[in-house]
Copies of this chain bind each other. A is one copy, B any other.
Amino acid sequence: MAKTLNIGLVGCGFMGRAHANAYRQVGPFFDLPYRLVLKACYGRADNRDKLEAFAARWGVESVETDWRQLVTRDDIDVVDVCVPNHMHHDVVVAAAQAGKIVLCEKPLAMNTAEGEAMVAAVEKAGVANLIWFNYRRVPAIALFKQIVDEGRVGRPFHYRAVYNQDYTIDESVPQGGRALWRLDAKVAGSGVTGDLLAHSIDTAEWINGPISQVVAATETFVKERPHAETGEVAPVAIDDACMFLARFANGSMGTFESTRYARGRKNRNTMEMNGENGALCFDLEDPHVLGFYRYADPQTGRKVEDHLAGWQRIHVTNFDHPYMDKWWVPGCTIGYEHTFTNTLADFLTGLHDGSPAQPNLRSGLRTQLVCDAVLESARAGAWVDIPA
């Protein structure tokens, strides 16, 4: 008999919607030992209409306008944190102290210090926890990792990651407010570094192991913007763009870049890795495709015939591909929202088996540390070492 898990959603914006959908969808598609109930969701008291509409739409049983109330309710098993970044710390610490399972959106925190406190809290409480780096569960990215782990890339030489968008180029785009809090440094902590590069760094270290050194530069192209709610024009304090060079402990070289000013790029989260035996590349704008250059077989050392070698375009929809046996049939794609559902399925399976769900908050703290080192390097104009 499936155990019931009651979910409390702290946040009902874009990410709240993506998570609500995952809770709703994971059941019919995965065989799980839990029955999930959307028990409560939190939203601001000054926007109660939106909160209640959200609850009605997603079948959430109750609403709260005080998150502290929600995280201590006896009928809540899981606290899922999808409010803006500046609230992560307080909500996570409170939820952990209340003994709740904690799921937290990325980036973990406003900075490493906050993140350390959060990790301390969940570890002290001994509660299961997860950070939503959902892109690890894009089937093609999971396959990327699998192929690396099979030795098919071999000794690594290069890794490069780009995460580019173009939605803030217009100077009239405001900062702050509900929809655009990501442009407000007091709420977001940083700009593209925490929002986008955090994904790139999480994936990079998941695949390669630790980055040991970075040198970075950031830029804010539009210096002032009106505030969405007050209309007041104020300096923009986030990084519009960030680029950095990295060295990995495994000897590989890395280049990273992110911006919201790459005209023509909507959600271009790419990664490429080149090694002795092969190479891989991926672009989130074509999420069902993995590029693979097969050079030599790691077991036999046999090389692909020279006249037959070429980049393969793997259509990651076969039954043998990660997660794809749960969805439709070969040739039929899934989309953005499924990355959350796949993540949730893995977390719940791990929860039931008692094995650690990854990435947990400690893993998120590591990414936070690298992000902070990147921003520090940009400020200092110098290379920064990152402890392993």
Contacts and interface: CB of A to CB of B under 8 A. Distances in A.
A297 to B, nearest CB: 10
A90 interface: no
Q: State how many copies of this chain the complex holds.
A: 4
B307 A143 contact: yes
A262 B158 contact: yes
B315 A310 contact: yes
Interface string A243-255: 1110100010101
Contacts of A20: 28
A57 B27 contact: yes
B279 A165 contact: no
A80 interface: no
A49 interface: no
A255 B255 contact: yes
Interface stretch (A61-69, A118-126, A286-294, A347-355): A286-294
Most B C-beta atoms less than 10 A away, residue of A147, A284, A335: A335
A267 interface: yes
Contacts of A383: 381-382
Contact of A274 (B219, B264, B277, B335): B264
Contact of A169 (B276, B287, B321, B330): B276
A29 to B, nearest CB: 8
A57 to B, nearest CB: 5
Interface residues of A, number: 94
A318 B336 contact: no
A59 to B, nearest CB: 8
A355 B267 CA distance: 37
B311 A313 contact: yes
A343 interface: no
A308 B317 contact: no
Contact of A266 (B241, B307, B331): B331
Contact of A278 (B247, B263, B274, B315): B263
Most B C-beta atoms less than 10 A away, residue of A18, A274, A287, A293: A274
A41 to B, nearest CB: 13
Contacts of A332: 267, 335-336
A306 B320 contact: yes
Given A221-B251, A285-B331, 19 more contacts: A14-B329, A20-B28, A25-B25, A28-B58, A143-B307, A152-B308, A157-B169, A157-B262, A158-B164, A158-B241, A158-B261, A158-B262, A241-B253, A243-B255, A262-B279, A265-B279, A307-B320, A307-B321, A308-B312
